[in-house]
A and B are shown apart, each in its own frame.
Chain A
Amino acid sequence: MSRRLTTGGSRIDRSRPVMITVDGREVAAYTGDTVASALLAADHPLLSHGIYSGRPRGVMGVGVEDACAYVQVLSGGGEPMVAATTLEVHDGLAIERIAGRGRLPSDDDTARHDTLYSHAEVAVVGGGLAGLRAAVAAAEHAEGSRVLVLDDGPVLGGAAADLPADSAAGRELRDLLARLSGLDEVSVLSRTTVTGSHGHGRLVALEQRPDGVAKRRLHHVQVDQVVLATGTHERPLVFSDNDRPGVMLACAAADYVTRYAVLPGERAVVWTAHDAGLHAAVELADAGTEVVAVLDVRETMAGPLAAALVGRGIALHLRAEVTGTDGSDDETGRLTRVHTTVGTFDVDLLAISGGANPAVELFSHPGGRTRWSEEVAGFVPDVPAAGQVGREVVVGAAAGDLDVVPDWRETLQPPATVFRADAGDPELVFLDPHRDATLADLRRAHAAGLSSVEHVKRFTTIGTGADQGRGFGVLAVGILAQELGRPIGEVGTTTYRPPYVPLSFGLLAGRNRGELSDPVRVSQVHDRVSHAPMEDVGQWKRPWYFPGTTADGLEELDASVAREVRAVRTGVGMMDASTLGKILLQGSDVGVLLDRVYTNLFSTLKVGKVRYGVMCGPDGMVVDDGTTARISETEWLMTTTTGNAAAVLDSLEEWHQTEWPGLDITLTSVTDQWAVVAVAGPRSRDVVAALAPQQDWSAAAFGFMDWREAPVAGIPARVMRISFSGELAFELHVPSWYAAALWDAVAEAGAPHGITPYGTETMHVLRAEKGFPIVGQDTDGTVTPHDLGMSWAVSRTKADFMGMRSLARDDARRPDRRHLVGLVPLDGTSRIVEGAQLVAHGADLTTFPVAMAGHVTSAYPAGHDGRPFALALLDGGRDRVGEVLDAVDDLVPLAVRVTGPVSYDEDGARRDG
């Protein structure tokens, strides 16, 4: 049986029928229908079941105030827990009924989710009469103001759109829409629900786009002024068995008639506490529902509304209440009978309206408080409290203005406040149908000693369902207040939190997925090295190793690294060092700054020289290291570790601007402007000489820690004689656009010497043999330069440097601090594991705790001699060289001998080649 009326329906397009599937059964609908209206039209009242009770549940509302009609979408990849009252139908939509819990579809979400940003002077939330009046006023009175109207419906007008075109509201709506369309600076976003008001004029909104490529969009809206014209949510009334299919909110029932041409019942009882319920009764009667009785809790009723009911032959019962309902025995459990204080009625619709709750959620998000208003019989914004962020104004019904619709102004009777803590059988009075929470639960909470609305919510789960209490929340507060014997305004509501309606994780992720979930940074020579396996270093992708081809296929990590290490130690290797952080420091006071931020002295550095430096935080712990070259009297180039570049630059900027603004310094990141290729190994000089034969690269002419400007392979370059491997090495810095050309030229010039590209792993092996720590690997924020054995890099002559005072504290001078040491396996062959903890040799590993003396920070299967070695932080380690300890990994000990941190070329002879 169809309950679709033959005429009317402002939101449906009868020329565009669609077919949807519900629990495997086809249901005919029209474009513009929601799932709820389509099912009501098909006389299909059952939409869900109670999560614990399994009780059948239908549609109660017409929008976001509905508290139980949530369905599982099966089509389009599927989606759990979608509100049937706001989900618009489309061909092929398939849904399934659920019992309070959704199901995550397992296939990938391939939908496109876009996030859009808009800016305007004014945002008006809600396109009803109050909102449109505000929008027109804002646009007409403040010339040039951009006004954005956001409305959750498919058409503007709110309640006025559901009133006859020739009503005063209908005429005003037409006039407002005409004026809006003539205002260039006004934009309208329909089907757009503002989900959060995040303060300082920021709104987040969800746009539904039934015809769009992206079905939904997320909007970030930034404005100076937010006008909240969010209207009201219809409030239910309670009684025993108030959750049956066929029990609906009265205005919602009438809206199904006017919007979707659906008659929600053949015979109805209407029960109301305010005029809107009476209007709904008239509309239902005029649409063809036999309204057998209208019950009003109020004492008196006079004027045109009463006359309208009487004129239609409808009995109006004052001071009357519903006490319970009966339902069918079949699966649908639909309403069959209503028990009231004035008799029992056999009906299939009970339309109830307990009042109108101003929709204050968005007002509350940034901290707005509400107060109870007896005139409105609802919580209204308590505006404006001093000291609150003042970019929000609330207008219309949301502000408690009962006069918004002009047609109703003359006849308005005050609403009644009715909560009924004594309603029926408490186990059958549902206060959150979605969570199956009842009046009995609320009473149990009270009996357990709870009085705060927040405690009661948590005890009962009332208000935690998918509608977040929009349906029953205020009603439950009213009942609690009666139970407690306190005024409702004193009890108050729970806090409203974003989002106003649910937002999918995928939509919030937007385009920031896969490759775009975090920016990928690659060096300027990436396309020359991209065949190598990459190591993630922060956002950077760095070549980890360069596997060669063998008879068995590609080399594994260990074999490749062994070959790369051998090449650098005995011949020549090349490495992309472009990801090193590079900071250009300019000005006459750079030396002063460097002396303050490095532990060692820099101001004395001569032009043409490079110096290694260690940086500590004010707490004395190592935060970074690197080299700085003096380019000219007033220009210096600092390098930082790859991961710390931004932090070091920011820190320098902070110290300069906030503590020493008088210093003449300008800081610029040039990481991306310079590409760097390191050429390292005893044959590196031959390679550089081949690239720049006109230069004298001899150790005498170009010493260790010198730099010079020289064309390399015809490319203007800065060549630095610095070494992170201990071998003779040259760092070639060129402007980025020459990066690939330089890489190719080095490879070509090195080919006769067997030049071998190497990655981060080999770099780590090479430096570890030299005992050079990696900040962040061999340090962890608790390590001083002294702990690293770098006292030589800590000035004893400077008056102060960053961290100096902290290093003077007793704890920083304890002899048993953890020092950087080397380790070798006692058997000479077993591999030491990074992260292994160091314990006494032979310690009992079955009785806990086992005292730990340190841990392995870096470990490699083979150094230059092919033997495993490691670096570690060890309590008092510098005094323990030669001692045997156990390095324990997964409770398996490995005997290791403590060595000094340097295991290769201790006297530094190899750096000159």
Chain B
Amino acid sequence: MTVSERLPDHPAFLWREDEPKASYDVVVVGGGGHGLATAYYLAKNHGITNVAVLEKGWLAGGNMARNTTIIRSNYLWDESAGIYEHSLRLWETLEEELDTQVMFSQRGVLNLAHNLSDAREGKRRVNANQLNGLDAQWLDAQEIGKLVPILDVTDRPRHPVLGGTFQPRAGIAKHDYVAWGFARAAQALGVDIIQHCEVTGFQTSGDRVTGVSTTRGDIALGRLALSAAGHSGVLAGQLGVRLPLQSHPLQALVSELLEQVLDTVVMSNAVHVYVSQAHKGELVMGAGVDAHVGYGQRGSFHVIEEQMAAAVELFPIFARAHVLRTWAGIVDVTPDASPIIGHLPFDNAYVNCGWGTGGFKATPGVGSVFADTVAEERPHPLAAPFALDRFTTGRLIDEHGAAAVAH
């Protein structure tokens, strides 16, 4: 009988629920991690404190509460590596920045290669990462076996492990702590946090958005920052803008609490296994994305079954673990699996969406970049490549090749 250690206590006070005022300099629609981080950096870096974050449900209850918390920056293309690495650096000092624990644990993320094609892609990405100044390594099967002893690196599995990429500075964090930390810090700087306030429409005048209609009344605004993940398409539609987004169910699950067996994050895009063992001891796993559009926060059970088969194949020791709970988020996916950050076709309206499965890790990074874009009324250099017009020019940032499911 071994008694476990408790996680650190939350701060004694997190945030209060504000009542909406009649008008704000900036209205951030979407009280998830991105919206809260955006509001925080608007106040902190740009002195814009007359800001409201509008959340239709409970704060950070969307994908922020439903993701598998993987944080890494080892993306293939320069543009992606740029914004994700910016984010990873902010993660590294986030506890001091927010003066709260976020349980950021740099335990390393391993991406497995199961065939020659995976291996080629992995080496290409490692080399690109290294030349972009990121920590990245290619490990062969033996090295992976040493790093993760419970992973079967023999040739027994149906899709054996041939090698993998490893980013030591990558890791996980505690999602709720992050969201609540941003909320607390933003509110301390003057930001209003308004829950249960659903946006039902917008008022516009010429090329400007002048206000939002909500379930708690109309609110006038100076600038609009949409940051609503899976619901961005619906909101942009209310502004008459059709975004290249499809919203899909993405499932995840946890096991019961288990004694420590895994201290590295392991991802396998080929067989859709994304697993880490969280601080309390539960295995946290992400599954594949359902192909169809869905807003029900429910996924298909066969996706879970397939994922379990793949997981047990790689980690035979997992066979006797139990799925305690499954759930689904709504991920908004763009045609090139990269986000959209920048201007909407209005002078004072901006959007940050399309993060698919990659949103959590970008939270501080895109929060600061999007805040800068809104504050300075021009794309931040790290955001510029992700502008909406890339779909017209054809200059896509296609991360499909790097990871069809990016997590």
Asked if the two chains touch in their complex, CB atoms less than 8 Å apart, one says: yes
A contact set with B: CB distance below 8 Å: 49-54, 70, 77-81, 97-106, 108-109, 115, 196, 198-199, 202, 204, 365-367, 444-445, 447-452, 454-455, 458-459, 464, 466, 468, 495, 497-499, 502-506, 508-510, 512-518, 520, 535-537, 619-620, 776-777, 780-782, 806, 809-812, 833-837, 839, 845, 848-850, 852, 855-857, 888-891
* Residues on B with beta carbons closer than 8 Å to the beta carbon of A505: 255, 308, 311-312, 318-323
* Residues on B with beta carbons closer than 8 Å to the beta carbon of A366: 298
- B124 and A855: CB pair below 8 A? yes
- B323 and A502: CB pair below 8 A? yes
* Residues on B with beta carbons closer than 8 Å to the beta carbon of A452: 58-59, 61, 195
- B4 and A502: CB pair below 8 A? no
* Residues on B with beta carbons closer than 8 Å to the beta carbon of A518: 158-159, 271
* Residues on A with beta carbons closer than 8 Å to the beta carbon of B310: 517
Q: B293 within 8 Å of A by Cβ?
A: no
Q: A80-B322, A508-B309, A835-B126 are in contact. Are A99 and B1 (CB under 8 A)?
A: yes
| Least CB distance, B7 to chain A, in whole angstroms | 9
Mark out the residues of chain B between 286 and 328 whose CB falls within 8 Å of any chain A CB in the assembled complex: 296, 298, 300-301, 304-306, 308-313, 316-327
* Residues on A with beta carbons closer than 8 Å to the beta carbon of B241: none
With both beta carbons as reference points, the residue of chain A lying nearest to B259 in the complex is identified as: A103
Q: B343 within 8 Å of A by Cβ?
A: no
* Residues on A with beta carbons closer than 8 Å to the beta carbon of B11: 448
User: Told that A101-B4, A780-B398 touch, could you supply 20 new A-B pairs with CB distance under 8 A?
Assistant: A52-B3, A54-B3, A80-B256, A103-B259, A106-B317, A447-B12, A448-B10, A454-B58, A502-B324, A503-B322, A512-B305, A515-B158, A517-B313, A535-B115, A536-B116, A834-B120, A848-B133, A852-B78, A889-B123, A890-B130
- B309 and A509: CB pair below 8 A? yes
- B256 and A81: CB pair below 8 A? yes
Q: Can you list 16 A-B pairs with a CB-CB distance of less than 8 A?
A: A49-B3, A52-B3, A77-B320, A103-B258, A109-B320, A196-B301, A198-B300, A199-B298, A464-B325, A510-B309, A536-B114, A810-B394, A835-B120, A848-B132, A848-B133, A855-B124
With both beta carbons as reference points, the residue of chain B lying nearest to A508 in the complex is identified as: B308
* Residues on B with beta carbons closer than 8 Å to the beta carbon of A780: 398, 401
Q: B19 within 8 Å of A by Cβ?
A: no
| Least CB distance, A191 to chain B, in whole angstroms | 17
- B4 and A52: CB pair below 8 A? yes
Q: A104-B259, A782-B401 are in contact. Are A448 and B12 (CB under 8 A)?
A: yes
- B319 and A504: CB pair below 8 A? yes
With both beta carbons as reference points, the residue of chain A lying nearest to B261 in the complex is identified as: A104
Q: A98-B1, A835-B122 are in contact. Are A513 and B309 (CB under 8 A)?
A: yes
| Least CB distance, B155 to chain A, in whole angstroms | 11
* Residues on B with beta carbons closer than 8 Å to the beta carbon of A450: 14
Instruction: Give Cα A130–Cα B312 distance, bound, in whole angstroms.
Output: 40
Instruction: Give Cα A199–Cα B394 distance, bound, in whole angstroms.
Output: 40
* Residues on A with beta carbons closer than 8 Å to the beta carbon of B58: 452, 454-455
Q: A448-B11, A455-B58, A468-B324 are in contact. Are A100 and B127 (CB under 8 A)?
A: no
Instruction: Give Cα A97–Cα B1 distance, bound, in whole angstroms.
Output: 7
Instruction: Give Cα A115–Cα B302 distance, bound, in whole angstroms.
Output: 12
With both beta carbons as reference points, the residue of chain B lying nearest to A836 in the complex is identified as: B127
| Least CB distance, B234 to chain A, in whole angstroms | 17
When each residue 368-395 of chain B gets 1 if its CB lies under 8 Å from chain A and 0 otherwise, what string results?
Answer: 0000000000000000000000000111
Within the complex, which residue of A77, A520, A837 is in contact with B127, where a contact is CB–CB below 8 Å? A837
* Residues on A with beta carbons closer than 8 Å to the beta carbon of B146: none
Q: B16 within 8 Å of A by Cβ?
A: yes
With both beta carbons as reference points, the residue of chain B lying nearest to A436 in the complex is identified as: B6
With both beta carbons as reference points, the residue of chain A lying nearest to B311 in the complex is identified as: A505
Q: B121 within 8 Å of A by Cβ?
A: yes
- A448 and B3: CB pair below 8 A? no
Instruction: Give Cα A505–Cα B158 distance, bound, in whole angstroms.
Output: 17
Q: B65 within 8 Å of A by Cβ?
A: yes
Within the complex, which residue of A50, A109, A499 is in contact with B323, where a contact is CB–CB below 8 Å? A499
- Which 10 A/B pairs are nearest by Cβ-Cβ distance? A848-B133, A835-B123, A109-B319, A506-B319, A502-B322, A835-B124, A508-B308, A452-B58, A512-B309, A509-B309
Within the complex, which residue of A100, A499, A520 is in contact with B326, where a contact is CB–CB below 8 Å? A499
Q: A508-B305, A889-B123, A889-B127 are in contact. Are A101 and B322 (CB under 8 A)?
A: no
Mark out the residues of chain B between 144 and 163 whose CB falls within 8 Å of any chain A CB in the assembled complex: 156-159
* Residues on B with beta carbons closer than 8 Å to the beta carbon of A454: 58, 61, 65
B interface, size bucket = 35 or more
* Residues on A with beta carbons closer than 8 Å to the beta carbon of B321: 80, 104, 504-505
B contact set with A: CB distance below 8 Å: 1-6, 9-17, 58-59, 61, 65, 78, 114-117, 119-128, 130-133, 138, 156-159, 176, 195, 255-259, 261, 271, 281, 296, 298, 300-301, 304-306, 308-313, 316-327, 335, 393-396, 398, 400-401
- A835 and B325: CB pair below 8 A? no
* Residues on B with beta carbons closer than 8 Å to the beta carbon of A54: 1, 3
- A849 and B133: CB pair below 8 A? yes
* Residues on B with beta carbons closer than 8 Å to the beta carbon of A508: 304-305, 308-309, 323
Instruction: Give Cα A890–Cα B136 distance, bound, in whole angstroms.
Output: 9
* Residues on A with beta carbons closer than 8 Å to the beta carbon of B59: 452, 455
* Residues on A with beta carbons closer than 8 Å to the beta carbon of B301: 196, 198, 202, 204, 498
Instruction: Give Cα A103–Cα B195 distance, bound, in whole angstroms.
Output: 40
- A850 and B131: CB pair below 8 A? yes
* Residues on A with beta carbons closer than 8 Å to the beta carbon of B4: 51-52, 99-101
- A448 and B5: CB pair below 8 A? no
* Residues on A with beta carbons closer than 8 Å to the beta carbon of B128: 837, 852, 855
- B309 and A776: CB pair below 8 A? no
With both beta carbons as reference points, the residue of chain A lying nearest to B2 in the complex is identified as: A99
- B326 and A497: CB pair below 8 A? yes
Instruction: Give Cα A836–Cα B324 distance, bound, in whole angstroms.
Output: 43
With both beta carbons as reference points, the residue of chain A lying nearest to B262 in the complex is identified as: A104
- B312 and A509: CB pair below 8 A? yes
Instruction: Give Cα A517–Cα B131 distance, bound, in whole angstroms.
Output: 37
Q: A101-B281, A447-B13 are in contact. Are A777 and B117 (CB under 8 A)?
A: yes
Within the complex, which residue of B124, B256, B393 is in contact with A810, where a contact is CB–CB below 8 Å? B393
With both beta carbons as reference points, the residue of chain A lying nearest to B402 in the complex is identified as: A780
- A536 and B159: CB pair below 8 A? yes
| Least CB distance, B144 to chain A, in whole angstroms | 16
With both beta carbons as reference points, the residue of chain A lying nearest to B301 in the complex is identified as: A198
* Residues on A with beta carbons closer than 8 Å to the beta carbon of B61: 452, 454
Instruction: Give Cα A513–Cα B310 distance, bound, in whole angstroms.
Output: 8
| Least CB distance, B262 to chain A, in whole angstroms | 10
Instruction: Give Cα A509–Cα B312 distance, bound, in whole angstroms.
Output: 7
Instruction: Give Cα A202–Cα B394 distance, bound, in whole angstroms.
Output: 43
Instruction: Give Cα A461–Cα B57 distance, bound, in whole angstroms.
Output: 20
- A809 and B394: CB pair below 8 A? yes
Q: A103-B259, A782-B396, A890-B138 are in contact. Are A109 and B15 (CB under 8 A)?
A: no
- B313 and A101: CB pair below 8 A? no
- B6 and A52: CB pair below 8 A? yes
* Residues on A with beta carbons closer than 8 Å to the beta carbon of B296: 367
- B320 and A506: CB pair below 8 A? yes
Within the complex, which residue of A49, A51, A497, A811 is in contact with B395, where a contact is CB–CB below 8 Å? A811
* Residues on B with beta carbons closer than 8 Å to the beta carbon of A108: 316, 319
* Residues on A with beta carbons closer than 8 Å to the beta carbon of B6: 52
Instruction: Give Cα A521–Cα B82 distance, bound, in whole angstroms.
Output: 41
* Residues on A with beta carbons closer than 8 Å to the beta carbon of B316: 108-109
Instruction: Give Cα A400–Cα B393 distance, bound, in whole angstroms.
Output: 60
* Residues on B with beta carbons closer than 8 Å to the beta carbon of A498: 301, 325-326
Instruction: Give Cα A506–Cα B335 distance, bound, in whole angstroms.
Output: 35
* Residues on B with beta carbons closer than 8 Å to the beta carbon of A781: 398, 400-401
Instruction: Give Cα A52–Cα B4 distance, bound, in whole angstroms.
Output: 5
With both beta carbons as reference points, the residue of chain A lying nearest to B124 in the complex is identified as: A835
With both beta carbons as reference points, the residue of chain A lying nearest to B394 in the complex is identified as: A811
| Least CB distance, B134 to chain A, in whole angstroms | 8
With both beta carbons as reference points, the residue of chain A lying nearest to B3 in the complex is identified as: A54
With both beta carbons as reference points, the residue of chain B lying nearest to A782 in the complex is identified as: B398
Q: A498-B326, A508-B309, A510-B305 are in contact. Are A104 and B320 (CB under 8 A)?
A: yes
Instruction: Give Cα A108–Cα B124 distance, bound, in whole angstroms.
Output: 35
* Residues on B with beta carbons closer than 8 Å to the beta carbon of A466: 256, 324
